[in-house]
Amino acid sequence: MKSNGKMAQLTATPRTEKKGAALRLLRQGGRVPAVVYGPGQEGSSIHVDEKEVLKVARTGRSEMFNLNVEGGKTIPVLIKDQQERNGRLLHVDFLQISKNKPISVSVSIDFQGTAAGSKAGGVFQTQETQLEVEGLPADLPTSIEVDVSGLDIGDRLTAADIKLNKGLTLVTSAESIIASVMPPQAVEEEPTASAEEAEPAAEEKAEEE
């Protein structure tokens, strides 16, 4: 399990522009429209530098960092949600948190090793790529390492099988299947949607915020 490093910093600028045309201009200038949510407030509109927020986003959504709002105060936040398209961020939601209050977040699973069943001809499959856990912000990992080398053909790894660091509580159902090794004949190819069918309408939604 990888732990958090030094808390990152991100500078934000308040914004009043909320219509599509104005938001497109922000994005063309390398800025990302965003909203900060917190206890007892509907949300504060801001914008942040795209390159800087990407550095934070790549560390994982469980990473706590300081958001320095120009003309305001510095607040600890997490990334609550983000909308993107073709590798470009369209909109980000930040969640203001308390360092002393446990929160629930989804953490990426980092699968380690090669399943023994794969070496014997089985097919390793992942049913889940994230695990929801609860803990104090400082205890939340950026990813959870899971060793799958012991999985043989027919074996299943459930959420309950994953060992969590002290201070973390499993929120995902303990019976949830995380990964499995299937016999070759049991794996059937599923048709995939075309690129046009799969393309999300994230940009249209983001322009309304």
For the chain, the DSSP string reads -BPP-SPEEEEEEE----SHHHHHHHHHTTEEEEEEEETTEEEEEEEEEHHHHHHHHTT-TT--EEEEETTS-EEEEEEEEEEEETTEEEEEEEEE--TTS-EEEEEEEEEES--HHHHTT-EEEES-SEEEEEE-GGG--SEEEEE-TT--TT-EEEGGGSPPPTT-EE-S-TT-EEEEEE-GGG--------HHHH---HHHHHTT-
Which pLDDT does position 170 carry in this prediction?
Answer: 97
Which pLDDT does position 124 carry in this prediction?
Answer: 97
Say which residue, 42 or 174, is predicted with more confidence. Answer: 174
**206: pLDDT strictly greater than 60:** no
Which pLDDT does position 6 carry in this prediction?
Answer: 65
Q: In this structure, are residues 27 and 90 in contact, taking their beta carbons and an 8 Å threshold?
A: yes
Which ranges in the chain are annotated with CATH 2.170.120.20?
A: 103-186
Q: Which CATH class is domain 103-186?
A: mainly beta
pLDDT band per the 50, 70, 90 thresholds, residue 109: very high
pLDDT average, residue stretch 23-36: 92
Which ranges in the chain are annotated with CATH 2.40.240.10?
A: 8-97
Which of the residue ranges 7-21, 53-67, 181-195 would you say has the lowest mean pLDDT?
Answer: 181-195
CATH of domain 8-97: 2.40.240.10
pLDDT average, residue stretch 58-79: 80
Say which residue, 103 or 19, is predicted with more confidence. Answer: 103
pLDDT average, residue stretch 30-35: 94
Which pLDDT does position 64 carry in this prediction?
Answer: 79
Say which residue, 41 or 48, is predicted with more confidence. Answer: 48
pLDDT average, residue stretch 73-83: 87
